[in-house]
Structure 1
Amino acid sequence: MSVTEMFSYIQGFLSADQDIREDIRKVVQGLEQTAREILTLLQSVHQTSGFKEIPSKCTKARELFCTVRTHISDLKTKFPVEQYYRFHEHWRFVLQRLVFLAAFVVYLETEVLVAREEVAQILGISSGGEQRDCRRLHPATPHLQLHQRAGLRLPPAQPEE
C-alpha cells in the first residue's frame, strides 16, 4: 500500500466518522428540544396555580415522551451497536435529563419513586439486563465494602435503642 493510498484510506475513515457524528448531532438536537419542552411544561407545577394542573401537565409530558422514543429509536440506527461507548458522549447529558424528567412525571402522578425498568419503558430503551457488554451496569459494591477494600477501619455499628 502506497503512502497516498494510506492517506486516502485515513481520509475516508475520518469522513465517515464525521458523517456519523453529524447524524447523531441532528438527532440529539431533537432530543434536547423535546427535553426542554417537557422541562418547561413541568416547571409550571411549582407555581401556585400549577398545582391544580398536575394531571394535565403529566398527560402532556407523557405525549412528549412519545416523541422522545421516536428520537431514541432513530438514534439507535445512526451508529454501530458495538461502538456505543465511542459515541455516547453526544447524548449522555440529555439522556440524564430525560431520566430525571421521567422520574419527575412518575412522582407527580403516583408520589412514588420510579424504578429503572419503568424509566426505560418511558424512554423506549433497554434497561441493561439483556445487553451483552454490561460490565458498567453491574450493581456497585456496597459502601462498607469499599471502605474495607481501602483499608479504612470503621467503628462497629451501635445498637439502636
Structure 2
Amino acid sequence: MNIKKLLPILFLLISCTFYAQGERFREKKEQIRTMKVAFLTTELDLSPSEAEKFWPLYNAFDDKQFELRHLKMKAYINRIDDGSLDKMSEKDANAFLNQMESTEEELFLLRKKFVSNLKGILPSVKIIKLRKSEEDFNRKLLQQYRDRGPRK
C-alpha cells in the first residue's frame, strides 16, 4: 500500500483513540492543532496578508474534515469492530461500502473546494507546499507517537 494512502488512515486511527478520552482528547487535539499551526506557518512562510486570509479558511476546512473523518468514519470503524462484518449480508455490505465511498467523496470534494478557495489567496506553489507540509506534519506526528512506545 502506498504510504500516502496509509498516513491518513493511521492518523485517523490515532485520532479515534484520542476521541474516546473526552477532555483529555480535547486537550490533545488543541495541542496537535497548535503544533500543526506552528509547523505550517514555518513551512509556508506566509506573508501577514496571506496569513490573515489563509488561517480562517484553513481552520474551517480542518474542522469540517475532522468532523467528517471522526464522526462518520468512527461509526464505520465501530461497525466493523463489533464483529458483525463476518455476518453481514452482501446487500448490507454493499450499502455499507457505498456509505464509506460517499464519505471519501465528501472529503475529496471538501479538499477540492478548499484548494479552489486558496487559489485566490496563495500562489499555486504555496498550495502545493501546504499539501506536502500537511503530509510531513502527519509523518512527524506518527513518528513521535511511535517513539513514545507503548504506555504502561
Q: TM-score range by the shorter chain?
A: 0.3 to 0.5
Higher RCO structure, 1 or 2 (CA under 8 Å, sep 6+) = 2
User: TM-score, normalised on structure 1?
Assistant: 0.39
User: TM-score, normalised on structure 2?
Assistant: 0.41
- Larger helix proportion of the pair: 2
Structure with higher Rg: it is 1
